[in-house]
Structure 1
Amino acid sequence: MPQSQMPRPTPESEPGDRWRAAYACRSSRSRGRLLSEPGSATRNHFQRDRDRIIHSTAFRRLKHKTQVFVSHEGDHYRTRLTHTIEVAQIARSVARALGLDEDLAEALALAHDLGHTPFGHTGEDALDACMRSFGGFDHNAQTLRIVTRLERRYAGFDGLNLSWETLEGLVKHNGPLIGPDGAPTARYAERGIPAAIVEYQQRQDLWLASHASAEAQVAALADDIAYNAHDIDDGLRAGLFGHAALRVVPFLADLLDEIERLHPGLETARATNELVRRVITHFVEDVIRSSEALLAALAPADADAIRHAGAPVIAFSDAIATADREIKAFLYPNMYRHPRVGVIRQKAADVVRDLFTRFSAAPQAMSEDWAAGVAAFDEARKARRIADYIAGMTDWYALDEHRRLFDATPALR
């Protein structure tokens, strides 16, 4: 029979199942979408989710959203988009090694930062303070809001109508949101679960009291691995610290010693590349080994057994978990709170606060499609519309809007 006439497997037959572990999520067993849709002839549910995320407006905006404030130093520093691509690559690698669904892990990695504001965590902190009287702002909840409401690409629904497993993973990749008693877990104990999550939970139960799938847990740790490595890289290239300063972290000191032993006198730029790739390799290989041991001990029969395991099954070893904490402890004062970065952070926060204040007083100053109907909103709904508008801005658009509305706009450098 000519190849063109050979019967093709349908996406839901999942020919790759023989390589998947019993506890992997399976598109053919998906709990489906909130709104039923015809199946695709060429893609399964998780592949369609990934593709919808990549083609979304929010994903394209990541190109011009800050990761850490070193962009003024040159063109080679990470943006939210390049960070996201790195997370997706690591997530796929780990998922493949553990016999998990690579497409779901990739979809979750690609979507995990869609809800971030302009100017990185500085923008989020400023917008959260502006929204304090109206439930605050949380980038994870904003991601859910984007993929379930704010994207408007389809004639039949708002959002992207993603599968249950993708939505669950986006909401719970860092762990359960409520305990067995229904009370918010530590992350949300003080202020409660964000309204966007509570509202969506009333439409579709995302099992807020359980852990997420192994694929979602992989995406969460891939995020940690990626930003540990590339923040070291970007911090070195920006001159915020040097190789010698990194030696306060024993894990990094050992890697630097290894590089010097194997490549004595190596130029700084190449030594930095050698260091970064070793950080990624050690972390990735460790999480695979450690997770294999945890999974072997649990022997989960299916994906739901992962959700109800009571603890994460994708985790670093104790040694690498210590290295992870020590790297973060180094980066916090030496990069995220470096005086040069701090000056820019303050200016960026001022831009966000100025925009929120102006739009609150004059909603018609927003673009026409965002300003439509706001005059009839109550204060809480108006504030949320303004937060949605600002959160969706790129760094450059936020600065352009500030220049349009104010006499003076700070230069972020």
Structure 2
Amino acid sequence: MSTAAPRPAGQDHLWSVDEHLEDILTTVRPLEPIELQLLDAQGCVLVDDVTVQVSLPPFDNSSMDGYAVRVADVAGASEEFPAVLEVVGDVAAGQADPPQVGPGQAARIMTGAPLPPGAETVVPVEWTDGGLGEGPVTGMRARSLAPEGAHGQVHIYRPAEARAHVRAKGSDVKAGDKALEAGTVLGPSQIALLAAIGRGTVRVRPRPRVVVMSTGSELVQPDEQLAEGQIYDSNSFSLTAAARDAGAIAYRVGAVADDAETLRSTVEDQLVRADLMVTTGGVSVGAYDVVKEALSHVGDEDEAGGGIDFRKLAMQPGKPQGFGSIGPDHTPLLALPGNPVSSYVSFEIFVRPAIRTLMGLKDVHRPRMTATLTADKALTSPKGRRQFLRGKYADGEVRPVGGAGSHLIAALAHADALIVVPEDVESVEPGSEVEVVLLG
């Protein structure tokens, strides 16, 4: 859950990127833990350490199809002088009462089956005649063992050391070991481990539900016919995909027309399924910037605060931003600019960390590193603003992709990094070291 965002330091206050981000991350709180079935917990963050209750594997078992024997009975065995042992029975995976193996005896054993009492090692079937009396088993005949239940004798042509081809009890993890640490994101391999040690449910922070909506009467859905002055709505698609990539369960709402009452009612309708709301468009100073009109005073009468604070940031792209909480549960809302590049960069810098914070992760930011700028000419940046340029990173070098315009969406498809130009830098020469945010 969240608390109300602090009030701005005056209407003309120019927020830095760091101030705005800090305000968001000190307001947004991790979601409350819940107990989930394993498959429902995929992508969630583990709340508690998980301790192994039952060793894995829980018993000594064979890693091969073959014969369980005593070491002394196969010592010195060769093709010229094979060890001939009495087969006393079969041991299959899941068998609870395997036969006792005594001197001069062997038990036919399958992969994963428990090592029978008395046996000390496993001889692979390829080292035997398979109980058929026809010489060593090779190729396809490795699967042509004597019929199940047929005992008789087996010829073994090679010796085996103690516990050869035996998976020891607890060789993977032992009872009392820590299987997974709190803070682990549960992927397929972690869920496999939890299931293997007998955990059917786990306590996690749920994946946050993020509702994304774009605003603008000019927006048309893909596959529809464009009229004069209309454009396709790409922001809601890119931001919904980005929210899912960040780990959220994201819901895309179709573009809302430039009508304050319609937007307000749509936001209220969506609150029931939102842990975080993201809007794009309508946060600037134009006559039809309906997000500001619709949400500026929502929650002002709430005793706990609430409402959305619209700000100007020392940032390019993404100068106009909005942040606050809305509704009875004080659901956090981030209002992003409408230009495609502005909205995407704003998402990466502000919304993604908020989503990761809701998940309960410790490291909520994209990785950053230093790279050498490769470019045909110097990069320019407006004084007093932190600029984020799209770039392509490889082998310690980064090159700009596309121009600086906030409408140039095509370059986003080819970028895998953001080049960061600090507020006090107005020009960056090729060959200079720059900070990059890796998006991959």
TM-score range, shorter chain: under 0.3
* Bigger proportion of residues as strand: 2
Task: Work out which structure has the larger RCO, using CA pairs closer than 8 Å and 6 or more positions apart in sequence.
Answer: 1
* Structure of greater Rg: 2
